[in-house]
C-alpha cells in the first residue's frame, strides 16, 4: 500500500493511471500470464487482444483484485494495489464488466446500478433502520444518479424498473456498463463487451466508449475479439499470446506486426 | 405476473416481475387490521389459558425465524447452528437477571422483593441489550471462520458452532469462573427461577396473568418486523441480494464481502438473542436441554415452509409450525392414535410430522407457502448458481 513499495518496483506511476510491472499468474503447472508489463495512460482507450486462452481475462482479474498476481506489482494512481481486495480496488476507482454478463438477475436495471454505487454510499445498519434524513437524502440522490447513468448508456426510461433477466442481450450489456459506471471509476475495464452483438449494436457501443472517455474523463481498457471495434477505437493495442506480451503499439503497427499475424493466422489458418 | 406487450404476435420468452400479488394499499389495510386484532386478542380469552401461552411461544418463534431469515433468506448463508443465539440470549437472562451468581449483589433498575435477593438482577430491557451485544459477538465469531467457505461447508461450520455452545451449556456446571465459586452455567439442572419482567405501563408479569407477556412479545415482533423490513429495503439489503446471487460480481462492484456477511450474521444473531432472552424469562428457566440441534432445524423448517427471504412468509411459517407443535399435536390430535387403536404418543412423532409437511411443501411448492418473488425467480431460473470461485485476498 505504501508509496515507497511502488518505488521499489521501479514504477513511474504518477504519469500513468495504471501500471503493471512483470506480472505473472501461475495456476498449478499452468502459467496463464507471464511477465507482462503494461500501463494505461490517463483519459485513453487501450485494448488487449489475443487468441482464446491467451490470458486476457486472467490479466483482467488481477487488475481488479479477483486474482492475486503470483509475481509482479500493479499500481493504480501511484498506489500499490497488488493483491488488494476487489471491493477496495473498486472504491479506488477501477470498475469492470464481465465476459459472460454477471448482472444480478432478480434485481431491476436501476437496482443493479444502485449496487454499483455501494462504495459511494454511507448508510450503515442503524442509519438504515432509523432512516435518518441523511440516509433518505442519499437514497433519493443515488436513485437520481442511477437513472441518469442508465439514460447515459442509452437505456429507455421504461426499462429502468425491468428485471435484469428480462432485458435483451444488448440491454444487459448496457446495464452492466451502467452498473460499472455507477461506482464512479477512473478506469473502466470492459471484457469483450461486443460479444454476441450485431454490427449495428457494436457501432453504438463504440460510440458510447468514445463518449465515456470524452465526457466522463475516464480511461477504458478493452478486451475484444472484434477487430473492427479494436482498430477503430483504441489508441494503443497490446497483444497477448500464451500469457506473454508479443506486441504493443498503435493499431496500424500492431496489425502489421508479423508476430501478431502468426499468432492469429497460425491458429486460424 | 407476466407482462406481455399487446403488440407482440410472436411468442415471447417468459417475463418475470416483482410486482403482482396484493396491491400495497390493500396489504397495508390488511396489516393494520391484523395488528389491531393482535393487540386486542388477549381480551378475548382467559388470561391464563394455555392457548394464550401457545400464542406467546409462537410469537417468540416468529422473532427467531425473522432473525434466521436475515442470515439464510436475505444473505443466502445457510446456518444450522441458530440455536446458539437462543442459548446466548437465554443465558444473558440466567446470568444477569437471576440469583445464579449468589456471591454478587447487584440490582439495576429493578424494584420490589427482587431487591432483597442475592445475585445480579438487571431490568429486562438492560438484559435485552446485553443479550443482543453478546449474540452479535457470537454471530461475528461464527461468521469469521465461514467467510472463506460456501454453501454446504458454511452449514457444517455453523452446525458445529451450535453444538459447541450446547456442550458448553451442558457442561458449564463444571466450569468455574474466576470469582467466588460461580460456575458458567447450571447445566441440565437449569437456572431457575429467573426474574419476572418488570416494565412500565404493563401489569405485573406473573404466570397467573399472561397478558403482559403477550403484549411484550407482540411489541418485540413488531419492532423486529420494522427492523428487518427497513434493512431489506436499504443499501445493506441490496448488498445481501447481490452477494447471494453472485459474490464475484458483488465484490467487483465494491461490496465488501466480509463486512456485509458479518452484518447479516450479527443482525440475525441479535434478533435471535432477543427471542432467547424473552423465552428464558417466560419459561422461567435456562436449561441446557433446551439448546438441542433440533431447535435450529425447527426454526429453519419454519422459514423454508413459509418462504425463504419472504418476511410475511416467515411469519406465517413460524406461526404455523409453532401451533402444530404446541397446540395441534399435543392438544387437538393427541387422542387420534388411541381412536384408531394404536398405542403411542403423538408428540413423539412431532419431527416426523414436520418432516412430512416439509416434504409435501417441497414437492408441491418448493419456494414456500408465501414465497419471496426474487427467490422464486432464482429457483426457477437458476440465477445465482454460476461459478463463483476466486481468490479472496485476505
* Contact indicator for B39, B222 with CB cutoff of 8 Å: no
Chain A contact set for B381 (CB, 8 A): 105, 165
In this predicted model, which residue has the larger pLDDT, B199 or A73?
A: A73
Contact A64 B256 (CB under 8 A): no
- Position B391 scores a pLDDT of 55
Stated pTM of the model: 0.89
The ipTM of this complex is 0.89
The pLDDT score that the predictor gives to residue B377 is 85
- Tell which wins on pLDDT, A96 or B149: A96
3-state helix, strand, coil in chain B (%, to 5): 65, 5, 30
Q: Which of B133, B156, B20 shows the shortest CA–CA distance to B77?
A: B156
Residue owning grid cell 464481465: A98
Please, what's the b/e burial string for A134-167 (b: 16 or more CB within 10 A of its CB; e: otherwise)?
A: ebeebbeebbebbbebbebbbbeeebbebbbbbb
pLDDT over 70 percentage in chain A: 93
Q: What is the pLDDT of residues A99-131, one digit of tens each?
A: 999 999 999 999 999 999 999 999 999 999 999
In this model, does residue A46 exceed pLDDT 90?
yes
Q: Tens of pLDDT along chain B (394 residues)?
A: 444 444 444 555 567 777 766 788 888 899 999 999 999 999 999 888 899 999 999 999 999 999 999 999 999 999 999 999 999 999 999 999 999 998 888 999 888 888 888 999 999 999 999 999 999 999 999 888 888 887 788 889 999 999 999 999 999 999 888 877 788 999 999 998 999 898 887 878 888 889 999 999 999 999 999 999 999 999 999 999 999 999 999 999 999 999 999 999 999 999 999 999 999 999 999 999 999 999 999 999 999 999 999 999 999 999 999 999 988 888 888 888 888 888 888 888 888 888 888 899 889 988 899 888 888 888 877 665 444 445 544 3
Residue A177's pLDDT is 94
CA distances from B193 to A227, A245, B98, B200, B286 (A): 79, 75, 7, 22, 9
Q: Does residue B140 sit at the A interface (CB-CB below 8 Å)?
A: no
Residue A13: per-residue pLDDT:
44
Is the model's pLDDT at A34 over the cut of 70? yes
Q: Which residues of A touch B393 (CB under 8 A)?
A: 65, 68, 83-86
- How far separated are the first and last CA of chain B, in Å rounded? 43
pLDDT attached to residue B7: 45
Secondary structure letter of residue B191 according to DSSP: B
Q: Identify the pLDDT of residue B258.
A: 92
Strands B97-98 vs B119-122: parallel, antiparallel or unpaired? antiparallel
- Which residue is closest to A177 within chain B, CA to CA? B253
Q: Say which of B226, B255, B378 has its CB closest to residue A106.
A: B378
All CATH 3.40.50.300 domain ranges of chain A, comma separated, are 3-93+185-268
- The Cα B182–Cα B228 span in angstroms is 38
CATH code for the part of the protein at A3-93+185-268: 3.40.50.300
How far is C-alpha A21 from the geometric centre of its chain's CA atoms? 19
Residues of B with CB below 8 A from A166's CB? 15-17
Enumerate the residues of chain A whose CB falls inside 8 A of the CB of residue B255. Answer: 87, 115, 118-119
Interface contact A105-B383, CB threshold 8 A: yes
Q: What is the pLDDT of residues A142-179, one digit of tens each?
A: 999 999 999 999 899 999 999 999 998 889 999 999 99
To probe the interface with B, which of A163, A168, A186 has the most B CB atoms within 10 Å?
A163
* Per-residue CA distances from B141 to A120, B220, B262 (Å): 28, 25, 9
Edge-first strand listing for the sheet containing A79-80:
A30-41, A16-27, A71-76, A79-80
User: What pLDDT is recorded for position A184?
Assistant: 94
Which one of B237, B267, B394 has the shortest CB-CB distance to A85?
A: B394
Amino acid at each position: 500500500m505504501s508509496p515507497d513499495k511502488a518505488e521499489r518496483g521501479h514504477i513511474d506511476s504518477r504519469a500513468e493511471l495504471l501500471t503493471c510491472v512483470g506480472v505473472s499468474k501461475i495456476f498449478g503447472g499452468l502459467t496463464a500470464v507471464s511477465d507482462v508489463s503494461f500501463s494505461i495512460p490517463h483519459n485513453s482507450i487501450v485494448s488487449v487482444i489475443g487468441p482464446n486462452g491467451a490470458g486476457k481475462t486472467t490479466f483482467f482479474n488481477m487488475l481488479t483484485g479477483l486474482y492475486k498476481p503470483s509475481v509482479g506489482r500493479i499500481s493504480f494512481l501511484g498506489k500499490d494495489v497488488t493483491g488488494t481486495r476487489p471491493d477496495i480496488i473498486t472504491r479506488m476507482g477501477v470498475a469492470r464488466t464481465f465476459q459472460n454478463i454477471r448482472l444480478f438477475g432478480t434485481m431491476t436495471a436501476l437496482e443493479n446500478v444502485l449496487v454499483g454505487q455501494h462504495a459511494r454510499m454511507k448508510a450503515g445498519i442503524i442509519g438504515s433502520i432509523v432512516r435518518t434524513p441523511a440516509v433518505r437524502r442519499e437514497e433519493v440522490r443515488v436513485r437520481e444518479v442511477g437513472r441518469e447513468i442508465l439514460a447515459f448508456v442509452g437505456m429507455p426510461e421504461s426499462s429502468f424498473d425491468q428485471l435484469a433477466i428480462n432485458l435483451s442481450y444488448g440491454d444487459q450489456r448496457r446495464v452492466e456498463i451502467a452498473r460499472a459506471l455507477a461506482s464512479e471509476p477512473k478506469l473502466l475495464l470492459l471484457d469483450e463487451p461486443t460479444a454476441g452483438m450485431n454490427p449495428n449494436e457494436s457501432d453504438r457501443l463504440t460510440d458510447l466508449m468514445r463518449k465515456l472517455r470524452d465526457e466522463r474523463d475516464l480511461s477504458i481498457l478493452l478486451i475484444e475479439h472484434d477487430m473492427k471495434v479494436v482498430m477503430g477505437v483504441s489508441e494503443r493495442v497490446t497483444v497477448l499470446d500464451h500469457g506473454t506480451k508479443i506486441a504493443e503499439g498503435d493499431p496500424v503497427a500492431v496489425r502489421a506486426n508479423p508476430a501478431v499475424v502468426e499468432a492469429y493466422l497460425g491458429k486460424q489458418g | 405476473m407476466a407482462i406481455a406487450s399487446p403488440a407482440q404476435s410472436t411468442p415471447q420468452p417468459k417475463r418475470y416481475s416483482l410486482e403482482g400479488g396484493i396491491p400495497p394499499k390493500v396489504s397495508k389495510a390488511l396489516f393494520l387490521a391484523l395488528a389491531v386484532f393482535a393487540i386486542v386478542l388477549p381480551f378475548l380469552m382467559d388470561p391464563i389459558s394455555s392457548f394464550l401461552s401457545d400464542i406467546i411461544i409462537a410469537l417468540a418463534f416468529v422473532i427467531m425465524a425473522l432473525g434466521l431469515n436475515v442470515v439464510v433468506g436475505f444473505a443466502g448463508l445457510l446456518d444450522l447452528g441458530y440455536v446458539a443465539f437462543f442459548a446466548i440470549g437465554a443465558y444473558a437472562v440466567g446470568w444477569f437477571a437471576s440469583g445464579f451468581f449468589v456471591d454478587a449483589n447487584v440490582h439495576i433498575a429493578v424494584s420490589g422483593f427482587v431487591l432483597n435477593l442475592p445475585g445480579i438482577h438487571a431490568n429486562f430491557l438492560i438484559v435485552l441489550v446485553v443479550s443482543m451485544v453478546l449474540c452479535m459477538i457470537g454471530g461475528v465469531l461464527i461468521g469469521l471462520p465461514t467467510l472463506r467457505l460456501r454453501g454446504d461447508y458454511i452449514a457444517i461450520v455453523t452446525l458445529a458452532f451450535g453444538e459447541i455452545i450446547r456442550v458448553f451449556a451442558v457442561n458449564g456446571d463444571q466450569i468455574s469462573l474466576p470469582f467466588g465459586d460461580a460456575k458458567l452455567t447450571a447445566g441440565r439442572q437449569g437456572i431457575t427461577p429467573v426474574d419476572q419482567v418488570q416494565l412500565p405501563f404493563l401489569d405485573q408479569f406473573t404466570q397467573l396473568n399472561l397478558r403482559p407477556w403477550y403484549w411484550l412479545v407482540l411489541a418485540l415482533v413488531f419492532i423486529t418486523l420494522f427492523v428487518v423490513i427497513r434493512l431489506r429495503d436499504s443499501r445493506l439489503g441490496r448488498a445481501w441480494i447481490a452477494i447471494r446471487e453472485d459474490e464475484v460480481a458483488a465484490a467487483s462492484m465494491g461490496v465488501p464481502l466480509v463486512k456485509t456477511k458479518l452484518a447479516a450474521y450479527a443482525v440475525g444473531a441479535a434478533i435471535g438473542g432477543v427471542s432467547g432472552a424473552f423465552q428464558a424469562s417466560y419459561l422461567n428457566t435456562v436449561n441446557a436441554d433446551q439448546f438441542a440441534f433440533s431447535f435450529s432445524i425447527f426454526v429453519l423448517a419454519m422459514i423454508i415452509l413459509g418462504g425463504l427471504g419472504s418476511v410475511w412468509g416467515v411469519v406465517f411459517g413460524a406461526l404455523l409450525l409453532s401451533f402444530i407443535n404446541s397446540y395441534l399435536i399435543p392438544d387437538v390430535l393427541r387422542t387420534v392414535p388411541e381412536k384408531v387403536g394404536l398405542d403411542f404418543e403423538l408428540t413423539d412423532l412431532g419431527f416426523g410430522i414436520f418432516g412430512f409437511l416439509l416434504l409435501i411443501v417441497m414437492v408441491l411448492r418448493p419456494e414456500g407457502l408465501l414465497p419471496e418473488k426474487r427467490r422464486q425467480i432464482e429457483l426457477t431460473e437458476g440465477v445465482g448458481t454460476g461459478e463463483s470461485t476466486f481468490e479472496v485476498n485476505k
